[in-house]
Structure 1
Amino acid sequence: MKTHRILHIIGGGEIGGAEQHVLSLLKGLNRTHFAPHLICLTHGPFAGLALDHQIPTQTFPMRFPLDLSPLPSLIRWTRQQGITLIHTHGSRANLLGRLSAKWMGIPCLSTVHSSLAHDYSSTWSARMALGLDRLTLPLTSGIIAVSEYLAEEVALRGGRNIDTIYNGQNRLLIKDPHSARQHFREQWGIPTEALVLGTIGRLHPTKGQTYLIKAAMRMRLTFPSLHLLLIGEGPLHQDLELELERNSIPYTLTGYLSNAYEALPAMDLFVLPSISEGMGLVLLEAMQAGVPIVASAVGGIPEVVRSGKDGLLVPPRDVTGFSEACTSILKNPDLSKSLVRSGQSRWSMFSIENMILKTEQVYTRLLTKAIPPAKKISNI
């Protein structure tokens, strides 16, 4: 069987759920059939991380979201490498990748990781991204959505040939949770007796960390030793820190951590207060680490966490709902144990092997369609 060269294109300015997904896919592809390549469209940490894992990586920086100047170089490089399929992730990648694939006459596959309507701080930017996506969607050969929620959303704006493939989760390398808990708390100066509410994610409006802070303010009367642990980096770093300081909430704001899952044992409760969420891969990590979960009932989260079974789900922005859900788990050890037990039996259903296998099946289908039929040779 021919080895196809698959090019993944992503922004790469940060390392969030989409980047982790792409890295897992690039590392796990069957190299006998698929040779992975990566292009990043912004200077950032992801290109270096991919290179550390021996993934052939190039950067073609876009100066602004509609910058088409890298397109000629991108097409030329893609031809030189003999790329047979382009797989795009995110708005910038969709724009350049879909146009490149159309120009070259090769298949283009796009993975939808999140809701475009909620990915931007300004309404104008969101509308522009949605408009561009609608214009270029007809150039795709196929679409992968990481949840049924996103599959329905992209179908409403004209998407076709959609497969839902959930993100996969590797087994976490936490050998001794008790020691990991002590080590992380000592490393970051978190008191041993503190009751830690933690979250992991970009410090971005769509992740809703401000609602966790507001819920914590209400809970401090009931839990005086409460401590917030926020892991991640993003444009709201300074605003969130000011809000924490202004309300005198004990907190730890770590910034980006490459192995953020190592912090999970240090948490007494994991909270994901997102306004929008494609799937919520970090929830599978919390399940595996044995940390009870409270999360927003938005996007693909209810497909991962069954409310009342694997965690408690709350409407987004509902500060009262978050504080009550957190309180009910912290005050009820039996409920906490039940949620953790169910979560630990559920996370393995979202295996990385299954994600890779299903993605490879989509590649094979699209590439088979792209191969022109052999010409019949008549005897003269």
Structure 2
Amino acid sequence: MRVGLLTREYPPDVYGGAGVHVEFLARELRPLTDLGVHCWGEGAGGGVVRHRPWPVLDGANDALRTFSVDLSMAAALEDRDLVHSHTWYANLAGHLAKLQFGVPHVMTAHSLEPLRPWKAEQLGGGYALSSWAERTAIESADAVIAVSGAMREDILGCYPSLDPAKVHIVHNGIDTSLYRPDHGTDVLERLGIDTARPYVLFVGRITRQKGVPHLLRAVRDIDPAAQVVLCAGAPDTPEIDQEFRVLFEELSRVREGVHWIPQMLPRPEVIQLLTHAAVFVCPSVYEPLGIVNLEAMACGTPVVASRVGGIPEVVEDGETGVLVSVDEDFETGLAQALDSVLGDAGAARRMGEAGRQRAVGEFGWDAVARRTVRLYEEILKQA
């Protein structure tokens, strides 16, 4: 079975959950299929072809530049039996390949443009184009993979003309042999984090979706003994970047031990940070699943997260962490939940151990890949 996997992010250029998903899914699909990966970037080799936006569009809206990559990808898929796209950045390429070469198109929905109106702040008029590309691809796809049950409900709610039988749930996964506790402290010491004090950890992009401004306000009054470590970079827009910087400066004035790490750290360093955190926090206002919560759980760390999207399918409230409703008291709820975990070391340890067990037992990438290949086989039989 010759499969074309289409994505914006692929190593070494991975900055979000969708990129992590594709990286590990591709690794597990290779022994099961004849896999060709098409992504953004320069060059080719090792079963990976990288495509860049057309130079004539340098300076144009990002959505138009994306479409030029999609055209390049689609033109390179003639030898594939099936194509599988991830995110709106590659969905149009999958749709065009379906039309041009008559091959089935499977797409994984990691998020939905209608539920991310703040993207208009980033893309301007390009948001209308990204929304059009997603709608066109999703309504014409042979199968749509939702990364959680909540995501499946969102897909059918946003696109009611879509046949529910075409929407399949395949959860995100985690490599628990890679994401496992690292009890070294060299990374913490190099970053200036006090190893004698507990810390709250956030890892993610500076976006509206990730709820970073809510977090910066929520942690102002949590236990003063706790440090706050923010692995936060890749701001969506200059406006959200500036808002983050102002809130970070305000937070730094009212409490000690606030650390901002704007650069993307290598995975082993993130794993050490996850391992030693007293609590990991995910304040997202929209999250189809949230791989980063699985990463924290696999490192044995309790999680405080918002009760949105697919997060409750990963984080068991009271068992592997604490869930907080996103309402008018969201920031107060975040602060209270963080303090509850920081204040009970025994309960935090039990939640961390339970989280590791849940990640190992239920979210392995090998199982995700096998479920995906079974779906490919079903679709090809129907073609």
What is the TM-score normalised by the length of structure 2?
0.84
Q: Residue by residue, what CA displacement relative to the aligned partner does 1:64-104 show, whole Å, maximum 9, x if unpaired? A: 3145445654443222xx11111111113112221221121
**How far apart in 1 are the matches of 2:76 and 2:227?**
53
What is the aligned-residue identity percentage? 27
Please state whether the residue corresponding to 1:189 is helix, strand or coil. coil
Q: List gaps (5 residues or longer) in structure 1.
A: 371-380
Kept in 1: contact 2:182–2:271 (CA 8 A): no
Secondary structure, in 3 states, of the residue corresponding to 1:320?
A: helix
Residue of structure 2 in register with 1:61 after alignment: 53
Deviation for aligned residue 1:216: 1.2
Aligned pairs (5 A) from 1:257-268: 257-259=265-267, 260-268=270-278
Question: Which structure has the bigger radius of gyration?
Answer: 1
Quote the RMSD (CA, aligned, Å).
2.5
Partner of 1:21: 21
What does residue range 1-380 of structure 1 map to in structure 2 within 5 Å?
4-12=1-9, 14-31=14-31, 33-41=32-40, 43=41, 54-61=46-53, 63=57, 64-66=62-64, 68-70=67-69, 73-79=72-78, 82-116=79-113, 117-118=115-116, 120-122=118-120, 126=127, 128-156=129-157, 157=159, 158-160=161-163, 161-173=166-178, 177-179=182-184, 182-219=185-222, 222-235=223-236, 236-237=240-241, 239-248=243-252, 249=255, 250-259=258-267, 260-316=270-326, 318-348=330-360, 349-370=362-383
User: Which is further off, 245-254 or 156-165?
Assistant: 245-254
Q: Distance in 1 between matches of 2:15 and 2:35?
A: 19
Amino acid at match of 2:249: E
Contact 1:99–1:139 (8 Å) recurs in 2: no
Q: C-alpha displacement at 1:195, in angstroms?
A: 2.6
2:88 counterpart letter in structure 1: S
| Alignment partners' CA distance in 2, 1:120 and 1:159 | 25
Quote the Cα distance in structure 1 between the aligned partners of 2:344 and 2:208.
Answer: 31
Question: Quick one: distance in 2 between partners of 1:232 and 1:55?
Answer: 30
- Contact 2:87 2:109 (8 Å CA) reproduced: yes
* Partner SS, residue 107 of structure 2: strand
Q: Distance in 1 between matches of 2:376 and 2:276?
A: 40
**Does the C-alpha gap of structure 1 residues 172 and 188 become closer, same or farther in structure 2, counting only changes over 3 Å?**
farther
- Check conservation: 2:183, 2:275, Cα contact below 8 A: yes
Alpha-carbon deviation of 1:178?
2.8
SS at match of 1:256: coil
Which letter does structure 2 place at the counterpart of 1:206? Q
**One-letter identity of the residue aligned with 1:214:** R
Give the whole-Å Cα distance in 1 for the aligned partners of 2:245 and 2:354: 34
Whole-angstrom distance in 2 between the partners of 1:189 and 1:268:
17
Deviations 1:99-121 (A, max 9, x none): 22112111000001123222743
CA contact 1:184–1:266 (8 Å) conserved in 2: no
- The alpha carbon displacement at 1:168 in A equals 1.2
